[in-house]
Chain A
Amino acid sequence: MEKIRGRVWKFGDKIDTDVIYPGRYLKITDPEETAKHCFETVYPWFMEKAKPGDIIVAGKFFGCGSSREQAATCLKYFGIGAIVAESFARIYYRNAINLGLPIVVCPGITRHVEEGDIIEIDMEKGVIKNERTGEEITFTPLPDFVLDIFRKGGLIPYLREKLVDKTP
């Protein structure tokens, strides 16, 4: 996987899926359309200020709450480069992996990165470089099986290759 480089937007702990993607838009299933409502109710500034390629850095338990995949889809189709958090809620974590939205569990990250910093993430090696401070922060890379889903671009392309393309 190529390294991911982008500007940081910082969020606190326990950012829940209702905050990331409001329930009133659940009937929207077109991924491009979901990308218009990221954080809309509680952090309306996000849609104005954030740009594709930016990186979200969050505290503990990002994505807690409902299993709504739109909470990951909206950020993926908005073009968010990666989400780095102290920890994630498990369904959100799975959804992001399955959609091929780069996700990094990095305990301590919020102490090493400020809003507006440019960081570069090496998913395979497990290193985040902060360009402002020059600091390198390490994290445990994803298990190889999961990284493989990532390398293929998500669960759907992974399965397509396994089930369809390889069928003689």
Chain B
Amino acid sequence: MTIAEKILAKASGKKEVNPGEIVIAKVDVAMSHENGRMVKKAFEKIGIKKVWDPEKIVIIFDHRIPAESEKTANLHKEMREFVREQGIVNFFDINTGICHQVLAEKGFSRPGIVLIGTDSHTTTAGAFGAFSTGVGATDMAGVWATGEIWLRVPSTIKIVINGKLPPGVSAKDVILYIIGQKGIDGADYRSVEFHGETVREMSIASRMVLSNLSMEMGAKVAFVPPDEKTLEYVKARTRYPYEVVLPDEDAEYEDVWEFDVSNLSPQIACPHTVDNVKPVEEVEGIEVHQAVIGSCTNGRLEDLRVAAEILKGRKVHKNTRLLVIPASWEIYKQAMKEGILEILIDAGAVILNPGCGPCVGAHEGILGKGEVAISSTNRNFRGRMGSPESLIYLGSPATVAASAVEGKITDPRKYLGGK
């Protein structure tokens, strides 16, 4: 069996499951952000008073923090009261970070578990070997009531990535390239497993980029098989049980995709779909008004480090605004200790508090009519960051930083010892 099949078999009390089969799985972690309020409303309609297990529910505010409007403030207030009433101890308020990063840092993302979240990028925890997927609010209300969820067992695509990444090329470029090749529905409903030497060599943060962005090709779950690196990270952070689940030798895959990334260029997803991907050479020179480094995809320490490497002693172009949003307070603080924030501030960057920031177009950093952004975030849909007449290009943090310096889409390799 594949990783997805093994975890779902265990979670549904079966010896074996097959793709296409519907199972009722027990949930280990149930995460919601501000949309927890929609879950609460649906939960109340079911007519039971108490959630199934307050210890397994995690609420993390990240989408609109601090509240940008009275409406959001009331929503936050209602949820704070709800978590108190229900005894939900794993509640993280506006001073913690983006849910997928916080799930990892606080030890909720771990091998072999079923993690369900009311956010599409919940696939991120697959980087730790969790069966981790996004659902809507009503689905989650069912989980809060019963601790279970119906899931169709997905078939699995094995993705094998080999080759040493060239300087200035990162996990973001790899996954954008794959999405560009396979399309935004390339892995629809499927589980994907990332194998190969490139993946093994990647940091935990980089693996999270692969699992996170797999959502943008439709994947239901996106695993990196756990190894020593995974366990080192998880052991240091969790107080909950976990079990390393690896695919069987004779696991049956629906398809195998192989990639060699040793000559890969930085990749850019052009407006308005994430699979409209071109190598940076083809889009260099497009003027940008806003550059964004952050989000659950690319707001981690290694992302801020590479941005600082490029921006050290340089200035953000006068026609461009650079927004930097560390993905969590832990990252924020470490970036401060390492002097990264000072470098970025000196370069002219605006540092926003950890959270989703402008990625979802609901809070700060909205784009105006005709404006162009280069962003390390995960979606470039029309109107996502503001005006329907704005354009969003997606790239790696290095590409965003280099583009911020030059005021136009720029190949970061010239700043990082590459081509």
* A, B: real partners: yes
CA distance A65 to B189 in the complex (A): 13
A154–B138 touching, CB < 8 Å: yes
B138 with A95: CB separation less than 8 A:
yes
Within 8 A of B (CB), among A81-114: 87, 89-91, 94-95, 98-99
Number of interface residues of A (CB under 8 A): 40
Whole-angstrom distance between the alpha carbons of A163 and B143 in the complex? 13
Q: Does A122 contact B (CB under 8 A)?
A: no
From A24, A67, A99, A163, give the contact of B145 (CB < 8 A): A163
Interchain CA distance A18-B137 in the complex, whole Å:
17
Taken together as a complex, chains A and B put the C-alpha atoms of A145 and B141 apart, in Å, by 18
User: Are A60 and B185 in contact, CB atoms less than 8 angstroms apart?
Assistant: yes
Write out the residue numbers on chain B whose beta carbons fall within 8 Å of the beta carbon of A68. Answer: 35, 136
- In chain B between 342 and 366, which residues have their CB closer than 8 angstroms to a CB of chain A? 360-362
User: Binary interface profile of A, 1-28, with partner B (CB < 8 Å = 1, else 0)?
Assistant: 0000000000000101011001110111
Name the residue of chain A whose CB is nearest to the CB of B117: A67
A89 to B34, CA, bound (A): 22
Of B39-47, B104-112, B237-245, B312-320, which stretch is located at the interface? B39-47
What are the interface flags for B46-57 relative to A under an 8 Å C-beta threshold, 1 for contact and 0 otherwise? 111000000000
* Per-residue contact bits, chain A 126-168, to B (CB 8 Å; 1 contact, 0 not): 0000000000000000010110000000111001100110000
Of A67, A143, A155, which one neighbours B118 at CB under 8 angstroms? A67
Q: B69 contacts A27, CB within 8 Å?
A: yes
Report whether B381 and A18 are in contact in the complex, using a CB–CB cutoff of 8 Å: yes
**With the chains together, A69 CA to B37 CA distance in Å?**
12
Determine whether the beta carbon of B185 is less than 8 Å from that of A94.
no
Whole-angstrom distance from the CB of B211 to the nearest CB of chain A?
A: 16
Given contacts A61-B185, A65-B379, contact A26 B360 (CB under 8 A): yes
Where chain B touches its partner, the secondary structure class is loop
Of B34, B137, B361, B383, the contact of A19 (CB 8 Å cutoff)? B383
- Of residues 170 through 227 on chain B, the ones whose CB sits less than 8 Å from some CB of chain A are 184-185, 188-189, 218, 220
How distant is the Cα of A28 from the Cα of B48 in the complex, in angstroms?
24
Contact between chains at A155 and B384 (CB < 8 Å):
no
A59 to B264 CA separation, bound complex (whole angstroms)? 32
Give Cα A94 to B220, complex, Å: 12
Number of B residues with CB within 8 Å of any CB on chain A: 48
Interchain CB contact under 8 A, A155 and B383: no
B136/A160 in contact, CB under 8 A: no
B138–A163 touching, CB < 8 Å: no
Q: Which chain B residues border A69 with CB–CB below 8 Å?
A: 35, 38, 118, 136-138
Q: Are B142 and A98 in contact (CB under 8 A)?
A: yes
Chain B residue with Cβ nearest A13? B185
- Choose among A24, A66, A146 the residue with the greatest number of B CB atoms under 10 Å from its CB: A66
B45/A67 in contact, CB under 8 A: no
Considering the chains assembled together, what is the distance between the CA atoms of A160 and B48 in angstroms? Answer: 8
Cross-chain contact A156 with B138 (CB below 8 angstroms): yes
- Which residues of chain B are within 8 angstroms of A22 by Cβ–Cβ distance? 361, 383
CA distance A159 to B379 in the complex (A): 34
B72 touching A27, Cβ below 8 Å? yes
Which positions 7-45 of chain B face chain A at CB distance < 8 Å?
A: 22, 34-35, 37-38, 41-42, 45
Contact of B273 among A14, A160, A163 (CB under 8 A): A14
Chain B residues near A67 (CB, 8 Å)? 118-120, 122, 134-136
Q: How far is the CA of A90 from the CA of B217 in the complex (A)?
A: 11
One of B41, B120, B138, B384 near A29 (C-beta < 8 A):
B41
Whole-angstrom CA separation of A25 from B235 in the bound complex:
40
Q: Which of B63-80 contact A (CB under 8 A)?
A: 63-64, 69, 71-72, 75
Asked if A98 and B384 make an inter-chain contact with CB atoms under 8 angstroms apart, the answer reads no
A55 within 8 A of B: no
Contact of A164 among B48, B141, B150, B185 (CB under 8 A): B48
Which residues in A have some Cβ–Cβ distance to B below 8 Å?
14, 16, 18-19, 22-24, 26-29, 41-42, 60-61, 64-69, 72, 87, 89-91, 94-95, 98-99, 143, 145-146, 154-156, 159-160, 163-164
Known: A14-B184, A19-B383, A146-B22. 8 other contacts (CB 8 A): A61-B218, A64-B184, A89-B185, A90-B188, A91-B136, A95-B135, A160-B45, A163-B46
Q: List 11 A-B contacts (CB under 8 A).
A: A19-B382, A26-B63, A27-B75, A28-B71, A29-B38, A66-B119, A67-B135, A94-B139, A98-B139, A143-B22, A163-B48
